[in-house]
Structure 1
Amino acid sequence: MPGSRRSPTPPLFSRWVVAFASVFGLLLLLLLGLSFLGIYGLSGIRGYVLGEGLWSKAQKRSVIALQQYAFTGDARFHRAFREEIEITRGDRQAREELERPDPDMSVVREGFLRGQIPDAAITPMARVFRWGRNIGFVDRSIEVWDEGDRAIEELVALAESLHVELKRDIPDSLRVLGLLGEIGEVDERLTELEEDFSRTFNEGAAQVEQALFAALTLLTVSLLVAGVLGTRFFLRQIKRRDEALRRSETRYRELFERNVVGVLLAADDGSVMEVNEAFARALGYPDPKEMEGRSVRDFLSVEPLELTESRDPRVIPARGAGGIRRYLLLAATPVRTAGDPGEQILVTATDVTDRHVLEERLARARKMEAMGQLAGGVAHDFNNLLTVVLGHAQILEADLRSQGTPDPAIMESIAEIVRTSGTAAGLTRQLLTFSRSRVMEQRVIDVNEAVEAAHSLITRLLPSMIECRVELTRRLEPVKLSPVHLEQLLLNMTINARDAMVEGGVLTLRTGMRSVSEGRRTERLELSPGTYVVLEIEDTGHGMDSETVARIFEPFFTTKDQERGTGMGLATVYGIVTQAGGTIDVRTAPGEGTTFTIYLPAFPSVASAGSAESS
Structure 2
Amino acid sequence: MLNFWKNLSVIKKLYAVVGAMALLVAIELGTLVFALSTLSSVRAFVGGEGLWSKAQKNAIHSLTSYIFTKEQHYYDDFHKYMQIPMGDRKARQELEKPNPDYAVVFSGFIQGGVHPDDIPGVIRILRNWGHVSYIQRAIVAWTAADGLLEELISKAEQLRTIFSRPDVDHEEVKRILAEINQLNVALTEYETEFSSVLGEGSRWLEHLLMLLLVLAVITIEGTGLYLTFSFAKGLDRSLLELNHATKEIGQGNLGITVPVHSKDELGQLAQSINKMSRDLDLNISQRLLAENANQVKTLFLANMSHEIRTPLGIILGMTDILKDPQVSSVEKLKYLEVMENTGHNLSRLINDILDITKVESGHIDVELAAVPLAPFVDELRSMMQVKAVKSNVSLNFTVSDHLQQMEIQTDRNRLKQILVNLINNALKFTEGGTVQLSVDSVGSELVFDVKDTGIGIPTDQQDRLFQNFFQVDASSTRQYEGTGLGLVLSRKLAHSLGGDVVLKNSVPGKGSTFRLSIPRQGLVKTQVVAKPEVKKLADAELDLRGIKVLVTDDSEDNQVLIMHYLKKKGVQCDSALDGEEAVAKVAETHYDVILMDMQMPRMDGYTATRVLREGGYSGAIVALTAHAMKEDRERCLSVGCNDYLTKPISPDLLYTSLANLTQKSRSSILGEPK
Q: What's the TM-score, normalizing by structure 1?
A: 0.33
Q: What's the TM-score, normalizing by structure 2?
A: 0.30
Instruction: Using CA pairs under 8 Å that are at least 6 residues apart, name the structure with larger relative contact order, 1 or 2.
Output: 1
Larger-gyration structure (1/2):
1
